Amino acid sequence: MNCTQAHDRLPGLLYGHLLPAEKAGLEKHLAECPACRQEYAALRQVRHLLDRGPSPEVRLDLRQLYGQACDRQLRQGRRWRRVGIALCGAAVVLAVIALGLRMEVRMEPRQLVLRWGTPSAQREPTQSPQILQVQAQRAELSSGAAEEQFQLLSQLIHALADTAEARDSQRRQELLQLRADLRELQRRTAQWRYATERDMDALYTAHFISAKKGEKP
Amino acid sequence: MGCDDADLIHRWQHGDAAAFEALVRRWQQPIGRFLFRLVGREEEASDLCQEVFLRVFLAGPRYRPRAAFSTWLYRIALNVARDAARRARRNPVALFDREVQDNTSSAEVVCQRQELTNIVARAVAELSEPLRSVLVLHHYEQMNFEEIARLTATPASTLKSRFAAALHRLRQRLQHLQEESEEAL
């Protein structure tokens, strides 16, 4: 053990903090080192001086203590009362301001709307919440990656619209064709009916009018 | 003593004022001495002791016996002493103001003792608060480092180092102050 290590362990030896092995090692060092022995003696003197310090008597006044406890609780109660009054006053002031300014407070998705005053004539017409929401979302999407996503969405919507239009056109074509077929059918039906009536007239004439004249049909 | 403290606290929390007074009588001397050694002035120690028991009285209904009552009490006393030091912006060279009453020795011996007491008190007061606290708690209150660790929420090994450092600093400071005192004479 060297003097630095011994120096650190001297208070432990003085107050009995050391393990037996440490104590034996330190005592062996002290037997050989006059400087450390002197330091140890000085620390023993310090301990002795500390023990000789005065030790006054303290006596509490319980009546005074109870009085102070009451005062402190009263002060605490008054403090809370003041806080309560202040909060109520603030709430009343806010309510008066809100009523006086005809303030409107409304919670909407992602925003708190606070409006006051009467609407002026030159004010722009209010937009629906959905449009405002879309605009807000559009503003949020101003960053590069978000803009790209928006472009993709836009293309998708256009593609869907084109598909719907193509289908619509096809349906119209089919309807026109059906109409044309129906007209053709009506024309043929009219022709067939005309031919049938002519044939019937010819037969009638041949059968009945010829018999009256005494001619054989 | 611990069981008696628990019994007194239990009775006090159930409305027995005499139990609180018994606790005060039991602990006012140890706490008063402890505060005196921390702050160095008898009058201030008495005021702080009053403050400690006032806080105990007000916090009593909320006290739960998670640790020994003495640990809780000393923690309050440490906090009260720290608050007082912060408020007063304490002069680190404050002296004891109590004279040693000794009618048997000669005036010269009395003066020498008084001088020595003042020197020791001055040296203790000049220690920083962490060193002074562990010195007072271990040397005067006879608490071991594990108890002080629970009280101050500081590891026991750190407290041992602080105690050794406090003793060495006291030794150097006392030597210096004694030399100053001898030169003044």
Does the pLDDT value for residue A44 go beyond 90? yes
Per-residue pLDDT, averaged over B83-110, amounts to 57
CB contact under 8 A, B98 and A17: no
A81: enclosing H helix or E strand: helix A62-100
In this predicted model, what pLDDT tens digit does every residue of A102-149 receive, in sequence order?
A: 777 788 888 888 887 766 554 555 666 777 777 777 776 666 778 888
Find chain B residues with C-beta within 8 A of A8's C-beta: 164
CB contact under 8 A, B33 and A52: no
Give the type of residue at A163: T
Longest Cα–Cα distance in chain A: 180
CB-nearest to B50 from A39, A42, A65 is A65
Does the pLDDT value for residue A95 go beyond 80? yes
Q: For A41, which residue in chain B has the nearest alpha carbon?
A: B171
B176 part of contact set with chain A, CB < 8 Å? no
Does the pLDDT value for residue A53 go beyond 90? no
B18 part of contact set with chain A, CB < 8 Å? no
Does the pLDDT value for residue B26 go beyond 70? yes
B168 part of contact set with chain A, CB < 8 Å? yes
In this predicted model, what pLDDT tens digit does every residue of B44-87 receive, in sequence order?
A: 889 999 999 999 999 888 888 777 888 899 999 999 998 888 88
A16 in the Ramachandran plot: left (φ > 0), alpha (ψ -120 to 50) or beta?
left
A143: enclosing H helix or E strand: none
**Those residues with Cβ within 8 angstroms of residue A35's Cβ, 6 or more apart along the chain or in another chain:** A3
Phi and psi, residue B14, nearest 5°: -100, 20
Q: Measuring CA to CA, how many Å separate B68 from each of A74, B18, B63, B167?
A: 30, 20, 11, 28
* Higher pLDDT pick, B75 / B43: B75
- Best B21, B171, B176, B178 residue to mutate vs chain A (most A CBs within 10 Å): B171
Per-residue pLDDT, averaged over A36-55, amounts to 87
| Pair A78, B42: CB distance under 8 Å | no
CB contact under 8 A, A17 and B21: no
- A84-88, B1-5, B92-96: range with lowest mean pLDDT: B92-96
CB contact under 8 A, A69 and B96: no
Q: Please report which confidence band the pLDDT of residue B101 belongs to, taking 50, 70 and 90 as the band edges.
A: very low
Strand segments (E) across chain B? none
Find chain A residues with C-beta within 8 A of B167's C-beta: 11, 14, 43, 46-47
Give the percent of chain A with pLDDT over 70: 89
Predicted pLDDT of residue A210: 67
A60 part of contact set with chain B, CB < 8 Å? yes
B117 part of contact set with chain A, CB < 8 Å? yes
Predicted pLDDT of residue B52: 95
Predicted pLDDT of residue B94: 45
Does the pLDDT value for residue A12 go beyond 70? yes
Residue B178 burial by CB count (10 A; 0-12/13-18/19+): exposed, middle or buried?
Answer: middle
B96 part of contact set with chain A, CB < 8 Å? yes
In this predicted model, what pLDDT tens digit does every residue of A183-195 receive, in sequence order?
A: 999 999 999 999 9
What's the gap in Å between the CA of A12 and the closest CA on chain B?
A: 8
Does the pLDDT value for residue A169 go beyond 80? yes
Q: Please report which confidence band the pLDDT of residue B185 belongs to, taking 50, 70 and 90 as the band edges.
A: low
Cross-strand partners of A107: A112
Tokens at B121, concatenated = 């008190």
- The residue written with tokens 């602080």 in the block is B162
Q: How many residues does chain A have?
A: 217
Give the type of residue at A80: W
B45 part of contact set with chain A, CB < 8 Å? yes
What average pLDDT does chain A have?
84
CB-nearest to A11 from B21, B100, B164 is B164
Q: For A18, which residue in chain B has the nearest alpha carbon?
A: B160
**Those residues with Cβ within 8 angstroms of residue B28's Cβ, 6 or more apart along the chain or in another chain:** A58, A59, A60, B49, B53
- A74-78, B85-89, B133-137: range with lowest mean pLDDT: B85-89
Residue B89 burial by CB count (10 A; 0-12/13-18/19+): exposed, middle or buried?
Answer: exposed
B22 part of contact set with chain A, CB < 8 Å? no
Q: For B166, which residue in chain A has the nearest alpha carbon?
A: A11
Does the pLDDT value for residue B5 go beyond 90? no
Predicted pLDDT of residue B96: 45
| Pair B24, B12: CB distance under 8 Å | no
| Pair B163, A11: CB distance under 8 Å | yes
